[in-house]
């Protein structure tokens, strides 16, 4: 499909191309335009019929939208902007430089301009920034038949018609009716009789993560957004929530690998921007690691006498770090998915303790056998290393299981208590145990 | 709300309780039953009217479903099972012990039994295991009006009526019509004129991760599942896909923290089961870490002469590990979301190289200043450590940026090339550089 388009452009067969483009799907066209160089991309975009162009435009990444805005005529641009769903338009305007925003705001009515400005002011990641105003509203005095007629008349511009919102004259939300009910129920019934009054709603300033967890809990496909007086101001649809879930997960992955979160796609982010996101945490962790260095310096004399002890340091530090990361990752994820609550703290600690004893003992035994049989180490040295290993795993899991919960209690993001920080902390602990055990058993 | 239920149970006011329960939402009721002890949970369940009981049942975790199956009368059980959506029933049967499954299969028709067995045989995580058979099918000869009448007659048992499937006499999928179109368009139009023939579909054996990425790409709320001859066998709805996205992310988090994935909730998994999931990778990584130990042993004489060098080992190993994890995490996530393709390999490596030079130089400089000003180290030692640090960061990022892509090329899961394994590999590299630089500069 891609090849065919490239071919037609190369051969300058634009009328054939125009015919073939109009039967393609918008997402696929957006991908093709993304692959083409800027000039050809704009040619393809110009060949699209208006409705399709609008759909394709909403799927393009913001740098391509900007290229197109600069290249096409203001009249055509305004046609496209007008046809965009309201939430897509806001997403687009948020990414555009201010001269483009001004150019577009010039062409809308005073009322629309106010609304757009209000939406542009919702904080990033809030429910307000995700919502659309294109929903179907009904009155409770309507019959099912009236409602269907109303939907037929007004529904074509709505982002979804599958959930309809029953509001009063003051726009207060009184109930919800699914299109499913409207189609299946008797058309003489009143909306007030069939509407659902147990409404799950969010407010404009709620965080997108909370909104996503409501969608998951109640298997929703839309959710109403209300203001402090329970007036309906917009709705959020599931397709935007799926993106939120992906973005929130990406953020957690980045934080857990000691990076400041980056919302841009990797290949589109500049080198210095990427470097900046990484240096801060590396620096903090580097300084924290000097603590472990201090432990070594304190026990320098032991190391001087038994330099053989140094060889096991990586094994102890690595295993401690990994065991701790396992626990912290499980807890962080459990908290993120709402499976682990703060009140479960003691249950978690008790479980991690038991798991760590099993894991620690198994690893210590395996290492003892390895050192005695494969490496043919001295028995005392093998015992010191293996004993420390077992103790360290238990400590590491206790630390890894505790710190994310402490972070959550302090209203910090539990994700920062992931592998990297845990590793640094338990590294130091592991060496303290190691050298103390060694100095006792080696009689230093 | 919870307190109220607990109170009414404690006071044995069951008729009041029955009245209050029937106005609550199924998800919330399932949560309350989960909080109660087994006996009270069953009491609450028994008080629910049939339809609500069915909904609540589908939200309960499988161990509670089992308790209820054992406690309630077979007639009531069969009523509930019959009312369950087909995919919820399959999910439930998959988790039940075989005697329960047999008991239930005894009460269904021969045809249903065959179908259930077929569904129970779809591999876990396949499209087949997610789908339901309760969809609306239409014929292309119908008018919009016929279609709406057909939906009104058959729709009440369907999991969704928002997307309808146009099939021929051999059940081949010919098109898709949304309820949106049926409601908005003129009722005299033919289905064949308004149906969409650009169908995005999956086959029963496709992996759930691929299915989820189609939902994301095309903003779908349902997808049809077809067999090899393009016959419609079922549909998958977005609510199940949201769960898939969460599960797949959890799996990635677990793999990236060196654990075998666990599908159960943390607090419900036994100690030995949890320990088993963790020991394998800890063991592999522990053995890999002995490699780093070997490096130390090889350079024992340097360490013996300059034991001060040992103090910087944690700093070098930690920073290397963290820098490598950052890169590998970004790449693994980019691959998972489809943002980084295999063909981007050279672009990725080139970008990581430039980022790592910026990061490595900054950290080396910061460390040099720290050692000279704060620790007042020897200049040569400070230079050896800082130089190694800079080189190590570049190497670590190259390794971290490369290995996930190599894994992907070899058809392995890129997620195993995360922090823990990368750390072990770059630890050894860091020490090799360190001791070599030291032996040259210290003239050993």
Report yes or no on B148 lying in a domain: yes
Please calculate the CA angle B37-B43-B49 and round it to the nearest 5 degrees: 135
Structure token pair of residue A434: 């190691």
Contacts of A198 in chain B (CB under 8 A): 23-25
Q: Which of A242, A325, A326 sits opposite B242 (nearest CB)?
A: A242
Same domain, A216 and A278: no
Same-domain status, A163 and A285: no
Is the CB of residue A246 less than 8 Å from the CB of residue A409? Answer: no
In total, chain A counts a number of residues equal to 444
| Overall domain count for chain A | 3
Write down the pLDDT at residue A223.
93
How confident is the model over B117-167, as pLDDT tens digits? 777 778 888 888 888 888 899 998 999 899 888 988 888 878 888 999 999
Q: What is the mean pLDDT of chain A?
A: 83
Rg (CA), chain B: 30
Question: In chain B, which residue's Cα lies nearest the Cα of A360?
Answer: B279
Q: Residue B373: inside a domain, yes or no?
A: yes
DSSP-based three-state secondary structure for B165: strand
Whether residues A314 and B427 touch (CB distance < 8 A) is answered with yes
Is the domain of B324 the same as that of B430?
yes
User: Model confidence over A71-98: pLDDT tens digits?
Assistant: 777 777 777 777 777 778 888 877 777 7
A159 to A88, A236, A237, B214, B343: CA distances (angstroms): 10, 10, 8, 20, 37
Give the number of C-alpha atoms closer than 13 A to the C-alpha of residue B314, restricted to the C-beta side.
30
Residue A295 is predicted with a pLDDT of 81
The CATH code of the domain that includes B392 is 1.10.357.20
Identify all chain B residues contacting A282, using CB atoms and an 8 Å cutoff. Answer: 319, 322-323, 326, 359, 363, 393
Q: Which of B180, B267, B314 sits opposite A293 (nearest CB)?
A: B314
* Strand partners for B167: B173
**Average pLDDT of the segment spanning A350-356:** 86
Report the alpha-carbon distance of residue B106 to residue A247 in Å, rounded: 47
Let me know if residue A252 belongs to a domain. Answer: no
Backbone angles phi, psi at A270, to 5 degrees: -70, 160
B126 found inside a domain: no
pLDDT of residue A82: 77
Q: Are residues A195 and A279 in the same domain?
A: no
Q: Minimal Cα–Cα distance from B121 to chain A, Å?
A: 26
A259 contact residues in B (CB cutoff 8 A)? 326, 329-330
Q: Do B311 and A289 touch (CB under 8 A)?
A: no
Q: Inform me whether the pLDDT recorded for A105 exceeds 90.
A: no
Is the pLDDT at A165 greater than 90, yes or no? Answer: yes
| Range(s) of the domain holding residue A416 | 266-441
Average pLDDT over residues A206-222: 88
Asked if B366 contacts A282 with a C-beta cutoff of 8 angstroms, the reply is: no
Q: Closest residue of A to B292, CA-based? A: A314
* Residue with more model confidence, B62 or A353: A353
Instruction: Report the DSSP beta bridge partners of residue B234.
Output: B225
Tokens (6 digits) for A225:
């957004």
Q: Give the chain A residue whose CA is nearest to the CA of B346.
A: A267
Give the H or E element holding residue B320: helix B313-336
Q: Shortest Cα distance from B98 to chain A (angstroms)?
A: 28
Tell me the ipTM for this assembly.
0.72
Q: What angle do CA A376, A423, B357 make, to 5 degrees?
A: 105
Asked, for residue A127, whether it belongs to a domain, the answer is no
On whether both A234 and A283 belong to a single domain, the answer is no
Q: Write the pLDDT tens digit of every residue in A222-252.
A: 999 988 888 888 899 998 888 888 888 877 7
Q: Do the Cβ atoms of B282 and A162 come within 8 Å?
A: no
Average pLDDT value for residue range A155-172: 87
Q: Is the domain of B220 the same as that of B271?
A: no
**Among candidate residues A66, A88, A121, the one where a domain is terminated:** A121
Chain B contact set for A331 (CB, 8 A): 266
pLDDT value at residue B436: 87
Residues of chain B below pLDDT 70? 1, 257-258, 260-265, 444
The answer to whether residues A297 and A377 belong to one domain is yes
CATH code, domain carrying B192: 3.10.580.10
Is B330 within 8 Å of A275 (Cβ atoms)?
A: no
User: Tokens standing for A362?
Assistant: 């198994």
Residues B283 and B353 in one domain: yes
Q: How far is A184 from chain B (nearest CA, A)?
A: 5
A341 → chain B, closest CA residue? B267
Which chain B residue has the Cα nearest residue A220?
A: B239
Residues A226 and A339 in one domain: no
Cα–Cα distance for residue pair B274/B262, rounded to 1 Å:
8
Q: Which of B237, B253, B276 is the last residue of a domain?
A: B237
Does residue A316 have a pLDDT over 80? Answer: yes
Instruction: Determine which of A278, A331, A377, A392 to mutate to test the interface with B (most B C-beta atoms within 10 Å).
Output: A278
| Together in a domain, A115 and A162 | no
CA distance B126 to B371: 56
A373-383: average pLDDT: 83
Residue B388 lies in a domain: yes
Distance CA B384, CA B442 (A): 9
Q: For residue B219, give how far its alpha carbon lies from the nearest alpha carbon of chain A (Å).
A: 6
Pairwise CB contact (< 8 Å): B286 & A152: no
Confidence at A391, pLDDT banded by 50, 70, 90: very high
| Percentage of residues in chain A having pLDDT higher than 70 | 97
Distance CA B438, CA B444 (A): 8
Residues B280 and B170 in one domain: no
Q: Given pLDDT bands bounded at 50, 70 and 90, which one contains residue A217?
A: confident
Nearest CA in chain A to B239: A219
Reduced 3-state DSSP string for chain A: CHHHHHHHHHCCCHHHHHHHHCCCCHHHHHHHHHHCCHHHHHHHHHHCCHHHHHHHHHHCCHHHHHHHHHHCCHHHHHHHHHHCCHHHHHHHHHHCCHHHHHHHHCCCCHHHHHHHHHHHCCCCCEHHHHCECCCEEECCCCEHHHHHHHHHHHHHHCCCCCEEEEECCCCEEEEEEEHHHHHHCCCCCEHHHHCECCCCCEECCCEHHHHHHHHHHHCCCEEEEECCCCEEEEEEEHHHHHHHHHHHHHHHHHHHCCCCCCCCCHHHCCHHHHHHHHHHHHHHHHHHHHHHHHHHHHCHHHHHHCHHHHHHHHHHHHHHHHHHHHHHHHHHHHHHCCCCCHHHHHHHHHHHHHHHHHHHHHHHHHHHHHHHHHCCCCHHHHHHHHHHHHHHHHHHHHHHHHHHHHHHHCCCCHHHHCHHHHHHHHHHHHHHHHHHHHHHHCCC
A23 and A69 share one domain = yes
Average pLDDT over residues A346-354: 84
Residue A260 in any domain: the answer is: no
Nearest to B29 by CA among B63, B10, B5: B5
> Which residue of chain A comes nearest to B351, CA vs CA?
A271
What's the confidence (pLDDT) of residue A263?
A: 67
Comparing CA positions, the residue from A284, A202, A302, A278 lying closest to residue A244 is: A202
User: Nearest CA of chain B to the CA of A388: how many Å?
Assistant: 14
pLDDT interval class at A213 (50, 70, 90): confident
Taking CB atoms and an 8 Å cutoff, what residues of chain A touch B311? Answer: 293-294, 296-297, 300
Tokens of A341: 């609550």
Gap from A141 CA to chain B (nearest CA, Å): 21
Closest CB to A326 among B221, B265, B278 = B278
Interface test with A, best of B29, B252, B278, B301 (most A CBs within 10 A): B278
Give the contacts of A216 (CB within 8 A, at least 6 positions apart): B242, B243, B246
Chain A contact set for B340 (CB, 8 A): 266-267
Contact list, B241 vs chain A (CB under 8 Å)? 242
Q: Do A289 and B314 touch (CB under 8 A)?
A: yes
Domain-embedded: residue B259: no
pLDDT above 90 for A166: yes
Look at residue B4 in the predicted model and tell me its pLDDT: 80
| Those residues with Cβ within 8 angstroms of residue A84's Cβ, 6 or more apart along the chain or in another chain | A54, A57, A58, A92
């Amino acid at each position: 499909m891609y090849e065919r388009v490239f071919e037609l452009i190369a051969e300058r067969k634009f009328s054939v191309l125009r015919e073939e483009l109009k039967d393609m799907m918008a997402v696929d066209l957006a991908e093709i335009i993304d692959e083409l160089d800027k000039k050809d991309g704009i040619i393809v975009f110009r060949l699209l019929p208006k409705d399709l162009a609008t759909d394709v435009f909403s799927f393009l990444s913001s740098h391509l939208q900007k290229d197109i805005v600069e290249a096409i005529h203001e009249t055509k641009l305004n046609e496209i902007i007008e046809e965009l769903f309201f939430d897509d338009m806001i997403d687009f305007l948020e990414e555009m430089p201010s001269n483009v925003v001004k150019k577009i705001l010039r062409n809308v009515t005073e009322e629309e301009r106010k609304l757009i400005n209000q939406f542009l002011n919702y904080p990033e990641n809030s429910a307000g920034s995700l919502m659309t105003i294109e929903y179907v509203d009904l009155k409770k005095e309507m019959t099912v038949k009236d409602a269907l007629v109303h939907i037929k008349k007004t529904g074509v511009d709505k982002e979804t018609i599958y959930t309809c919102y029953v509001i009063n004259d003051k726009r207060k939300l009184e109930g919800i009716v699914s299109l499913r009910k409207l189609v299946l129920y008797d058309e003489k019934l009143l909306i007030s009789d069939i509407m659902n009054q147990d409404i799950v709603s969010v407010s404009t300033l709620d965080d997108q993560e909370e909104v996503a967890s409501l969608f998951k809990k109640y298997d929703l496909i839309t959710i109403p957004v209300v203001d402090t007086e329970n007036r309906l101001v917009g709705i959020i649809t599931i397709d935007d929530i799926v993106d939120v879930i992906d973005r929130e997960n990406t953020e957690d992955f980045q934080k857990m690998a000691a990076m400041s979160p980056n919302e841009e796609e990797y290949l589109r982010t500049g080198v210095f921007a990427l470097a900046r996101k990484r240096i801060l945490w590396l620096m903090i962790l580097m300084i924290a690691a000097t603590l472990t260095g201090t432990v070594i310096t304190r026990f320098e004399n032991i190391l001087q006498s038994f330099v053989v002890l140094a060889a096991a340091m990586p094994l102890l530090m690595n295993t401690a770090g990994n065991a701790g990361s396992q626990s912290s990752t499980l807890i962080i994820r459990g908290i993120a998915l709402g499976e682990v609550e703060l009140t479960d703290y003691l249950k978690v600690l008790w479980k991690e303790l038991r798991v760590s004893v099993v894991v620690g003992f198994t690893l210590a035994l395996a290492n003892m056998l390895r050192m005695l049989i494969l490496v043919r180490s001295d028995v005392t040295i093998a015992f010191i290393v293996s004993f420390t290993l077992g103790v360290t795993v238990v400590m590491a899991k206790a630390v890894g299981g505790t710190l994310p919960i402490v972070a959550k209690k302090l209203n910090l993001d539990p994700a920062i208590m992931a592998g990297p920080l845990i590793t640094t902390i338990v590294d130091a602990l592991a060496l303290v145990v190691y050298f103390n055990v060694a100095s006792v058993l080696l009689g230093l």
